Amino acid sequence: GYEKRLRLVTYSPIPRLQDEMPFDWQPDVWYRAKFRVDVRNGKGFVKAKVWPRGEREPDWMIQMIDPCPNVEGSPGLYAYSKGTTARKHGAPVFFDNYRVYRDE
Tens-digit pLDDT profile for residues 7-41 = 888 776 666 788 888 999 888 899 999 988 899 99
- Pick from 33, 51, 35: which is nearest to 103 by CA? 35
What pTM value is reported for the model? 0.75
Whether the ω angle into residue 13 lies within 30 degrees of 0, i.e. cis, is yes
Position 56 confidence tier, pLDDT thresholds 50, 70, 90? very high
- Per-residue pLDDT at 94: 79
